[in-house]
Amino acid sequence: MKPCRSFLIFCCVLAPLSAAVQPPKLVWEFEARSNLYAPPLTADIHPAPGLETVISDSEARTLRCVAADGTELWAVDGGWKKRLISAAALSGPMPDGGRLLAVGNGDGSLVCLNAADGAERWRARPGAVEWGGGLWADLDGDGVQEFVLATRQDGVAAFTAAGGPLWTWRGAAGAPPVEVRGPLAALDVDGDGRAEIFGAGRWGVFCLNPDGALRWERLTGDDYDSAVTLVRLDRDAAWSALAQSADDDYLWCFDADTGAPRWKAPLLAGPDSYSGASLAAGDLDGDGVSEIIAGTRGGHVHAVNADGTLRWVFQTVKAVHIAASVGDVNGDGRPEVLAAGGDHALYCLDGGGRELWRWNTGLRLIHPPTLADVDGDGATDILVCGSDRMLRRLTLGGRHNPAAMPWPSRRHDTAQTGAAGDPKALPPRVANTRPLPVFGGFEQGKVRDGLEQFDTNSPYYQTIMSRPRGWRAADAGNDQWRIVDDPRGGGHALRVLGANELFSDFVPLPPELRAVSVAVSARHGGGASAALVWGGMPGTLREDELPGTPATPEGWSRFALENAPRPANATHVRLLLRCPAGGETLWDDADMTGYYLEPAAAQVLVNQAGYDTGAPKAFVVQANFTAADARYTVVDEDGAAVAEGSLPAPGRITGAYGSDWGHEYYRQDFSPVDAPGRYRVRVTLDGLETESWPFEVAPDRLWNAAARPGYRFFWYQRCGMEIPGFHGACHLDDSIGPDGKTQFSVTGGWHDAGDYNKYHNAPYLHGIARAYGMRPAAFDALRPEGEEGFWQEILWGGEHVRRMVMDDGSSFGSITSGYGFWGPPELETDNLPGTGDERPASRERGDNPDEHQAALARMAALMRELGRDDPGAWAEPAARSLDYALREGRRGWPQLSAAVDLFAATGEDRFAAAARELAGELLVEGKMDFTPMTVDTARRYDRAFGEDHSGMLAEGLAKKADATLALARNPFGVCAFGSPDAPNFFGTPADKGGWHVGTNSHLMESAAVVALALQYRDNPAWRVFVQDQFNWVLGLNPYNTSLMEGVGGAFPPSYHHRYVFSGVPRGAVPGSVINGITWRAVGDDRPSLDLSGVDIPAYESNECWLPHNTAFLNAIAAAYSGR
């Protein structure tokens, strides 16, 4: 016993002080009158929308039904004389179509209710029930369930659905009466269509035939304060009956058919009435074999392998009861363990037992949460309750996937059977191979992916760049290793002089990886060797030597190892190269391949914001296997099919440098689905069924869903005033000049991004003013009562930009304090001018004023055009800035735009002359670059001066649209970089990192250009392209995640924004369009979006920035103004 106990203690993982991932958000909480001992029972039992949840209000002796929105639908006082601590069980549909709820009580009564309204159907007195309870199961094979109840001292009793007694079993003949303290379980173990009943008595476990006769009983002499849980641990294995005992503390596994013991596993503590009723199971690592999750009275959550060996243990700081359910709550496709503890906390653990987050409640939690999609929004909800009287609905917004919910509630299902679904019905496992990064061609020196790059002036720079990317040397005293030309010709190799050991960077291993193949070539005089080194939490777990081949005439040997199996608990692997003393060793052509056995998986990707009637509509299916039979069905809100068919053959996506995205992609058009309503797309691939997020089809759906959030984002980014719920009035002392003394009043404007710097707001003011000018009335119509609208936001930004124009017409410098401040913005300075802590500007005057003049002139022209205010206050600084720019020899599109608008606003001839002169230089066929800004300027020029460049614009836009579409030949239809024949999806560099962000602005600017082309001639392919760019941003992307906060169904779990330290959950700014999906690494053109949920995720993908919303607003305005 001692060695086993020591092993258990060694493997135990103590709960960390803080979780690394954002916790869920509270949707609502319902307050009962007393303890909520029984777990939530969640199902569709009432005509109200969504699913209902039934709770037992214990000391109030009331059963309550709570709607999906947290309001009470009914409450029943069943006349119970004792506290209501046992759980209700829900039947399947009865012959009359209704469903029944039955619950036993400590007063000896059994009450059966109509689930829809709580009306009593019948009652009986089988005996007292405390922590046990009953279940519904079909005992006679007629398709109608019977109710079976375990009592504390009066045996097991069965009743018909109408309440008639069927049988009672009080224990084996000649033995003391059976004492059942936990819930029962039910399963048709022999396949005759009738369910057997399983339970745990005081000293062992038993199984009853459907007629109540004893099938088997296994008495071990241990104390079973436990329920029985029924599981097929492997899809090809027989059913197992699992139970926990105390004195001694074991997890037992019995053959469910015969009762023969299979194994018993020691636990760190035994069960109590809470944890013992909550044995759970699920495949945590995707290998097709279930792990068993056993809580204890001592705060331990054990994960036990199917053979009874320990996988891991999590332990709470306080030794108190804990019980778990298992399901995917964050939408990553892998189940998490949700453990409810007597220490008041709900813990979320990953498949390796590591804490992801915890949610603290007021008092102890008794039983595990229930996992379901309560309101039908496609996201998983967590229902949890306990002694603080609160039923809480939490969510992380993760996609709800029933196939990834192996144990979603205490007894698995609402009938309380304690039996898992048949694993034969689970998705099959598929084998895949993927290259693992070892950079074994030795073609590059050291590479940094991030913002900070190697200092080229460093005395060590040349040495650093001579060392291969992804490799290190073990011998600190031997620096004789470097990249050299390959003597075989072409490319490079790694040369090592003398004895040394080189090893590749650690390659993390996902749970699905089963084996690794590895090979490397070496030229040596003898004595070189290579090994595959597996590591885990204790350190090195195993070294696998690579057998070598005899040397070629040129002296090269090949070391290779095929399908090396992954050791248990390995978390990373690396390749080790050993070099002998006394000579030169050359290494080259190292490669490593992972072999994966993973559940077949697919996602249906849609525009989560929805689609316009009459617009192109498409979805994409992303799968990790190729299906022989691939079909889809579009279903409406009631589940009725409105369109269906076979999916076309899939394709793969390969980016620059051979970067395969790792999936098969099916694209399907469903544009004929055009009736307004809410829909989902259901896809079946070789029997694997999956659904999309729900979405809406409606007239102007995209506009109505996204346009207002798109401009309202700027309000949340305002600087210089309080934004309730986000920050106080801030930076009221902006700004001082670079001398640190001279004060300027340049308050206001917008924080540039996830930082508080302002740089120059003018480009974004110019951009949103152009967007507004395309559809002013439509934007104004979006303004709710009592809220500032788009025009008011433009005025706010304009006031700041106007202050940024100096008396000579140049611009004040950019305002920045860098990136080191992480707190509420009102605390960065004291908000009092002249006290010495003001944010500095880069210069007092002389900065480029191009966008300032263009933005202010655009505002002046809009005021004249729309009859709003006096344009003079805006025209004057614009004219001053234009004069400065022209004096400085600046003669580009911003100057032309400003001159045109100033003429429109003032009618002054000098602006007309400047505009005509500039147009003669810029508005020239063959010279003009067709962008949203240049096209808008050209059109305004034509309107102002009665000229017509529409033919040139139409032709130029058409050519650019066609060239843009040539870069979008992929299943998503998104515009890449590079060339049509060699796309580079994210502008991924080959050999050097640095500052970079995602592609959302690129996509929106491309959409805007093509939308402008559509205003001159119709082209169905162009329309599809415009829609595809919006689709990507709004969720139809490889991450099934909307990149615009609040518009769609799923969003990043956290954002790179300092507002997170100002109390804003997740750092989420409503309506923000983030940088977007970007490249994974230098030379790796696969998609990357940070879904880690850490407080400060990667800025490259997860930071909002003003130009993205500016580009989005221009694109959506262009798309709709052309209709």
Tell me the per-residue pLDDT of 512-560, one tens digit each, with 9 for 90 and over: 899 999 999 999 988 999 999 999 988 999 999 999 999 999 999 999 9
Same domain, 505 and 629: no
Of the three residues 668, 698, 728, the one that is the final residue of a domain is 698
* pLDDT(489) > 90: no
Within a 13 Å sphere around the CA of 16, how many CA atoms are in the beta-carbon half? 12
- Round to whole Å and give the CA distance between 280 and 228: 10
Residue-wise burial string across 597-611, b where 16 or more C-beta atoms lie within 10 A, e elsewhere: bbbbbbbbbbbbbbb
In this prediction, residue 16 carries a pLDDT of 32
For residues 894-921, average pLDDT: 98
Same domain, 650 and 585: no
Look at residue 1027 and tell me if it is in a domain. no
Same domain, 675 and 587: no
In this prediction, residue 236 carries a pLDDT of 74
For residues 925-953, average pLDDT: 97
Helix (H) or strand (E) holding 690: strand 688-691
Same domain, 493 and 464: yes
Same domain, 626 and 585: no
pLDDT bin (cut points 50, 70, 90) of residue 641 is very high
Of the three residues 698, 729, 753, the one that is the final residue of a domain is 698
For residue 692, what is the domain's CATH number? 2.60.40.10
Look at residue 83 and tell me if it is in a domain. no
Residue 614, Cβ neighbours under 10 Å: how many? Answer: 13
Spell out the residues 6+ positions from residue 242 whose beta carbon is closer than 8 angstroms to its own: 228, 229, 230, 231, 251, 252, 253, 254, 279, 281, 292
- Round to whole Å and give the CA distance between 207 and 394: 37
- Round to whole Å and give the CA distance between 554 and 548: 15
| Block residue for tokens 């399963």 | 187
**Long-range pairs for 912-916: beta carbons < 8 A, 24 or more residues apart:** 912/944, 912/945, 914/882, 914/886, 915/941, 915/944, 915/945, 916/945
pLDDT bin (cut points 50, 70, 90) of residue 921 is very high
Spell out the residues 6+ positions from residue 460 whose beta carbon is closer than 8 angstroms to its own: none
pLDDT bin (cut points 50, 70, 90) of residue 456 is confident
Above pLDDT 70, what percent of the chain?
98
Same domain, 578 and 468: yes
The predicted-structure confidence for 418-447, as pLDDT tens digits, reads as follows 998 766 667 788 999 999 999 999 998 888
Same domain, 650 and 590: no
The predicted-structure confidence for 787-798, as pLDDT tens digits, reads as follows 999 999 999 999
- Round to whole Å and give the CA distance between 127 and 154: 6
DSSP state for residue 857 in the 8-state scheme? H
Above pLDDT 90, what percent of the chain?
87
Same domain, 636 and 657: yes
- Round to whole Å and give the CA distance between 50 and 401: 16
In this prediction, residue 2 carries a pLDDT of 29
Residue 34, Cβ neighbours under 10 Å: how many? Answer: 16
* pLDDT(299) > 90: yes
Same domain, 629 and 684: yes
For residues 171-188, average pLDDT: 90
Residue-wise burial string across 180-197, b where 16 or more C-beta atoms lie within 10 A, e elsewhere: bbbbbbbbbbeeeebbbb
**Angle at 706 (CA atoms; ends 704, 709), nearest 5 degrees:** 110
- Round to whole Å and give the CA distance between 360 and 382: 14
Domain that holds residue 481: 430-533+574-598
- Residue in 92, 48, 47, 86 with CA at minimum distance from that of residue 70: 48
Same domain, 509 and 528: yes
For residues 7-32, average pLDDT: 59
- Residue in 499, 488, 567 with CA at minimum distance from that of residue 528: 499
Look at residue 227 and tell me if it is in a domain. no
Look at residue 290 and tell me if it is in a domain. no
Written as one letter, the residue type at 764 is Y
The sign of the torsion formed by the CA atoms of 814, 818, 822, 828 equals negative
In this prediction, residue 18 carries a pLDDT of 32
pLDDT bin (cut points 50, 70, 90) of residue 19 is very low
Look at residue 496 and tell me if it is in a domain. yes
DSSP state for residue 600 in the 8-state scheme? -
Spell out the residues 6+ positions from residue 427 whose beta carbon is closer than 8 angstroms to its own: 403, 599, 600, 601, 688
Look at residue 481 and tell me if it is in a domain. yes
The predicted-structure confidence for 119-177, as pLDDT tens digits, reads as follows 999 999 999 998 888 999 999 999 999 999 999 899 999 999 999 999 999 998 888 88
- Residue in 579, 588, 577 with CA at minimum distance from that of residue 554: 588
The predicted-structure confidence for 601-626, as pLDDT tens digits, reads as follows 999 999 999 999 999 999 999 999 99
Look at residue 811 and tell me if it is in a domain. no
Same domain, 615 and 581: no
Contact 228, 417 (CB under 8 A): no
* pLDDT(968) > 60: yes
In this prediction, residue 424 carries a pLDDT of 63
Phi then psi for residue 201, to 5 deg, are -90, -170
For residues 1045-1070, average pLDDT: 96
Q: Enter the tokens of residue 854.
A: 């263009």
Q: How many domains does the chain contain in total? A: 2
In this prediction, residue 102 carries a pLDDT of 97
Within a 13 Å sphere around the CA of 854, how many CA atoms are in the beta-carbon half? 27
In this prediction, residue 73 carries a pLDDT of 98
CA dihedral 1024, 1029, 1035, 1037 (to 10 degrees): 90
Mean pLDDT of the chain, nearest integer: 94
- Residue in 1104, 1105, 1095, 1107 with CA at minimum distance from that of residue 823: 1095
For residues 245-265, average pLDDT: 95
Helix (H) or strand (E) holding 578: strand 572-579
Same domain, 644 and 519: no
Of the three residues 676, 698, 720, the one that is the final residue of a domain is 698
Partners of 435 in the β-ladder = 593
In this prediction, residue 726 carries a pLDDT of 98
Q: Quick check: helix, strand or coil at residue 899?
A: helix
Structural Rg of the chain based on CA atoms: 34
Look at residue 314 and tell me if it is in a domain. no
* pLDDT(320) > 50: yes
